[in-house]
Amino acid sequence: MGTCGSYRPEVPGADAAQCALVEVPLNWENPKADKITIFVRKFSPEGEIRGQLWAFDGGPGDTGDGFTKGWFRELVLKSGYELIVPTHRGTAYGTALDCPKSGALEPCVEELRDKWGLGLKHFDSHMAALDVVALAESYQPPKGMPALAFG
What pLDDT digit, counting tens, does each position of 62-103 carry? 677 778 888 999 999 999 999 999 888 888 888 888 876 666
Q: What is the overall mean pLDDT for the chain?
A: 86
Nearest of 3, 140, 36 to residue 84 by alpha carbon = 140
The helix/strand/coil state of 85 is strand
pTM (two decimals): 0.84
β pairing state of 35-43 and 81-86: antiparallel
* pLDDT of amino acid 37: 93
